[in-house]
Structure 1
Amino acid sequence: MIISDTAIKNRTSVLVLALIILGIGIYSYMVLPRESDPDITIPFVFVSTDYRGVSATDIETSITIKIEKKLKGLDKVKNISSVSSQGLSQINIEFLPGTDIDEVLTKVKDKVDEAKNDLPSDLENDPSVFEVNISEMPIVVYSLAGTSGPRVLKEIADDLKDDIEAVPGVLEVDVTGGQEREIRIEVDPDKLAYYRIPITSLQQAVVSENQNTSGGAITLGDGRYQLKVPGEFETPEEILSLVVATHSGNPIYLKDVATVVDGIKEESSRSRLNGVDAVNISVKKRVGEN
């Protein structure tokens, strides 16, 4: 009764105090960090195997696929993804929420032990099996697969990477798997010696021609526009017709001393999703961001 009587007698002060508390509450709600994808506990187990000096393709066939076959027998698995890169096999197993991480960690180790007999005998170290902190993992992984081929999928993934990186709150975007176009210049040393062309001169000639240059700026109405003169090579034929030196007053073309191969860059990584070749786009978010 004493408290209620005091409140009635000082109702103005009580009202002011209530408004202050309400204001503080509203302010706290407005500035309180909120995440649409907060850090949560999802069972992830990671299997990593080093095999130095081995290509991504050989890593996939000799290690990754063999371990994956054993892991497919596990229960409560939501997803298995892998990346095979130069000298390294990485397999990520995502289990269903609520799964006992200690239990599945032991089971994964047992499955990896079963696969050891099928792995290369010259491995320096056994595969490592450990739990992964979800906050350090990508918040989302997009996997691209289809009949278009690994080269087209890689081009699509690279375009998507640029768009995703522009999204606020994104920390990092990684693309793994697929194939990249590579144009190689294979030089004939005997022909270089015959024409007395140093390899450095040939290199400088190619580099200096393979670049875009500024064409200045023009003013049209109220707008000012920068001009760019394209100079990068797009086809092997353009490279072959490049003049790299002169000999006895005659131009020496690159095709006179070298060949150009329009091929595929050596794969630095290979990705698989549930046993199917794919190109993965992994997105990591900034801490405290949505």
Structure 2
Amino acid sequence: IGVLFGLLIFRMDFVILMTMIGIISLAGIVVNNAIVLIDYINLTIKRKRRALNLDASEKLTSPQLLECVVEGGKTRLRPVLLTAITTILGLLPLALGININFKTLVTELNPNFYIGGENVAFWGPMGWAIIYGLTFATFLTLVVVPILYYLINKIKTRRMNVAA
């Protein structure tokens, strides 16, 4: 979704091959961030249950669950943001087509630094796809995933209470 929004907003071409490779790369990064966040929220819930001496059949109350979700989100905020920011900054030279000729840098001490060129037409769409998608997905990971986690667990708890 973020890739499509970014390409549409900035009126960039959707290059089938390289944009799709960028989307596939993006999927791995985003899924990893969400898995780590959910895993840490589960860890905080286990710690809270242990601290309250709850049995396996007993569930946390809604405020306790919310506290665990917020704590997990706060704890994982910095690592998720750092991953996104470093990836985006690392891809900017690729997306912008920043070139340095390392051969002439070493031999003649002249880097022949320039922006653009032929390689940006090939690698640029992949870089921009990952940048746009990661920007949008980081927001989803940090905001939407914890909210959905809380709501789904709250619904499960209600169903268990109704069934009991």
Q: Identify the structure with the greater helix proportion.
A: 2
Ranked by relative contact order (alpha carbons within 8 Å, sequence separation 6 or more), the top structure is: 2
After TM superposition, the score normalised by the length of structure 1 is: 0.20
Structure 1 or 2: more strand by fraction: 1
